[in-house]
Structure 1
Amino acid sequence: MDRRDFALAVAALGASGAALAETAGSDGLGSVMPTRRLGKTGMQVTRYCPGGMHIEWMKDEADSQKAIELCIEHGVRFFDTAYGYGRGRSEELYGKYLTPKYREHVQIMSKTTGRNAESAREHLEGGLKRMKVDYIDLYLMHAVNTPEDGQARIAAGVLDELRKMKAEGKIKHIGFSGHRTPAAHNWLLEEGFPDAEAVLMPINVADPSYDSFILKTLPLLQKKDVGVLAMKTLGNGGLLGGTRGGVKGEALGTGRRVIPDVVSVREAHRFVLSLPVASMVSGSNDLQQLKFNLETAANFQPLDEATRNRLVEACAEHGKTGEMEFYKWDRMKPKRT
């Protein structure tokens, strides 16, 4: 794609996002952060969703509790978790501090990395018990890396099991997530998992410059009215120079960075929310980061076309190597250049 076509594609997606309808309101807990429609699920989800892995990563359990309460106070009503986040620890924290007080007001997304029907069922049933709930609003086949990975899981009965659990009322809606390549997402949407209702995928200012989910998959999701959830909004720290993700307390690293040299954290998040996504799923390493992210989401104003294009263009030279989005590499290790 040449530069002109690239700019037009990003502008078109951004225009759709800027026009995305939002609903403001309140509930028994107070004001609710504006919500957006999550595609064909019909769910109205708050535009910000705290990353469940990072809830478990807080300094201690007291801070995890404070993080949940902060989100509620700022009007967040959509929460992310998964069995893989601390082998159920994130779900346990929700079962202690979220669902006993707030279940009737919140929606929960969880996920399974199960490789067969039995493990997928085990993850779901265990999550229901750990979170002390009767159902989960959205459940995803998690971290599908390649079309072959998706094929193997489906052949082993994972998708059939998700459909059964939905029929049983233990799941309201089903979908999938993935970090590595749009090829996996597009195969699932077109062939392997055509009834997917929502998708969680990387969306950030560097993504359009390398194997782009924004350019290759987002239009297909819009066409099929599949709900779009954005993750890796800072490239899992890669936009700040990180070189590896998924390790609690690990230093960022010494890789290329665009934050804060080229773009600010606030601009990066505003870019994501200016695209046609229902919610930005973003993790915070501590309460200070969480407060900042909540304030950015609460006070969000969409970026205009010129600003969106400027940010993508400014990040393109760094982004075209893929190094800032290291999760797109095999085994999450960037190749040396």
Structure 2
Amino acid sequence: MHYRRVGRSGLKVSEICLGTMTFGRGADEAESGRMVAAAMDAGVNFFDTADGYNNGLAETMLGSILANRRREAVIATKFFNPMGHGPNDSGMSRLHIKHAVEDSLQRLKTDYLDLYYIHHVDTQTPLEEMLRALDDLVRQGKVLYTACSNYEAWRLMEALWTSDSKGWTRFDCYQPQYSLVVRDIEQEIVPVCELKGLGVVVWSPMGGGFLAGKYKPGQRQVQGARSSEGWALPDRFFIGSCDEVLETVLDVARELNRSPAQVALRWVLDRPFITSAIVGARNADQLRETLATAGWTLPDDMRARLDAVSALPHRYPRSFEENMHERRNAAVKMPGGG
């Protein structure tokens, strides 16, 4: 297992992060405990959850499982989703953040959170209100690092500028969707993260299971998979050539004698801007297969095939401006150059 720094911070996390969305939904506490044990045996030190996962049950289960191993774990959780029916039971207001962090700490049986994300975009609360509230939590020692998920590039830049200009704790990490069939973040988000020194911890690196080997090209629903239950297959975000991508993943997997899930996940982990990828499972055996993705890299020719079949066309303005350096260079006339 490789460990990578979270952005420009000193925090190091495993390249594979265990997600807990299935804790309490598909995996009971005993099976969830076996998954955590399998992950830690493989070198995973990074665990991702959220207060909204199964209405807090995932946090509660993870807290119980990690109770005696807290210092070995880097725990990330999130706030935003409704946790009640009151007008202040969701969002990123100072009041909701106060309630959310205390509730998460209690459920997780800990007195601090390693990484705390805003889960979604709240257009009803000023960024300054949230950022100052998060800065207070860091100063109080309840949160060590702050982060955001699903933010547009401009909103992320505005948040970073606000924090930097006011001397507040700034985001150290960004959590987006990313896989061979959803590469949109490469256009705007990744350049921001690289410029500003944010870690990138991605969710759904196997396209919600689409690239894991259960599906055949053309299929969007498989009995026994999450798609048949109506959740966690984000196919509305997939590129138009997703079936061709899946076919290439299946071909590469056969050639390498690896599972499609391992190939799809390894491609994500080999991207130079990736800090960690969140994986989920219903049981420990399924997870162990996924954990075998650690410790190797894709051959260059196979990575190139996957790059090519999943590539997105450049959008305006990059598509209009990307060759302007050639135009500028061609205009230079040096003395004596003819």
- The normalised TM-score by structure 1 is 0.72
| Structure 1 partner of 2:94 | 117
| Structure 1 partner of 2:6 | 38
In the TM superposition, what is the alpha-carbon distance from 1:74 to its structure 2 partner? 1.2
| Structure 2 partner of 1:167 | 139
Corresponding letter in the other structure for 1:250: G
In the TM superposition, what is the alpha-carbon distance from 1:238 to its structure 2 partner? 4.9
Corresponding letter in the other structure for 1:199: Y
| Structure 2 partner of 1:286 | 283
Is 1:200 the counterpart of 2:180 in the alignment?
no
| Structure 2 partner of 1:270 | 266
Task: Write out per-residue CA displacement over residues 171-213 of structure 1, whole angstroms, 9 at most, x where no aligned residue.
Answer: 001010117x5555455445688821111112212233xxx10
Q: How many pairs are equivalent?
A: 273
Contact persistence 1:51–1:282 (CA under 8 A)? yes
| Structure 2 partner of 1:107 | 74
Corresponding letter in the other structure for 2:305: R
Supply the distance in 1 between the matched residues of 2:191 and 2:161 (Cα, whole angstroms): 13
Structure with higher Rg: it is 2
| Structure 2 partner of 1:315 | 310
Q: Give 3-state SS (helix, strand or coil) of 1:59's partner.
A: coil
Higher share in helix? 1
| Structure 2 partner of 1:90 | 58
Contact persistence 1:270–1:303 (CA under 8 A)? no
Supply the distance in 2 between the matched residues of 1:227 and 1:234 (Cα, whole angstroms): 19
Is 1:230 the counterpart of 2:184 in the alignment?
no
Q: Give 3-state SS (helix, strand or coil) of 1:157's partner.
A: helix
Corresponding letter in the other structure for 1:163: D
| Structure 2 partner of 1:61 | 29
Superposed counterparts of 1:206-221, under 5 Å: 206-208=181-183, 212-221=184-193
Q: Give 3-state SS (helix, strand or coil) of 2:100's partner.
A: helix
Choose from 208, 230, 238 the match for 1:250: 230
Q: Structure 1 residues 201 and 189, CA, compared in 2 at 3 Å: closer, same or farther?
A: farther
Q: Structure 1 residues 269 and 70, CA, compared in 2 at 3 Å: closer, same or farther?
A: same
Supply the distance in 2 between the matched residues of 1:205 and 1:143 (Cα, whole angstroms): 23
Supply the distance in 2 between the matched residues of 1:83 and 1:253 (Cα, whole angstroms): 21
In the TM superposition, what is the alpha-carbon distance from 1:96 to its structure 2 partner? 1.1
Q: Which runs of 5+ in 2 are unaligned?
A: 81-89, 237-241, 250-259, 314-338
Supply the distance in 2 between the matched residues of 1:107 and 1:303 (Cα, whole angstroms): 31
Q: Give 3-state SS (helix, strand or coil) of 2:38's partner.
A: helix
Q: Structure 1 residues 127 and 67, CA, compared in 2 at 3 Å: closer, same or farther?
A: same
- The normalised TM-score by structure 2 is 0.71
Contact persistence 2:220–2:227 (CA under 8 A)? no
Q: Structure 1 residues 227 and 122, CA, compared in 2 at 3 Å: closer, same or farther?
A: same
Contact persistence 2:153–2:192 (CA under 8 A)? no
More off after superposition, 64-73 vs 258-267: 258-267
Q: Which runs of 5+ in 1 are unaligned?
A: 1-32, 321-337
Q: Structure 1 residues 198 and 289, CA, compared in 2 at 3 Å: closer, same or farther?
A: same
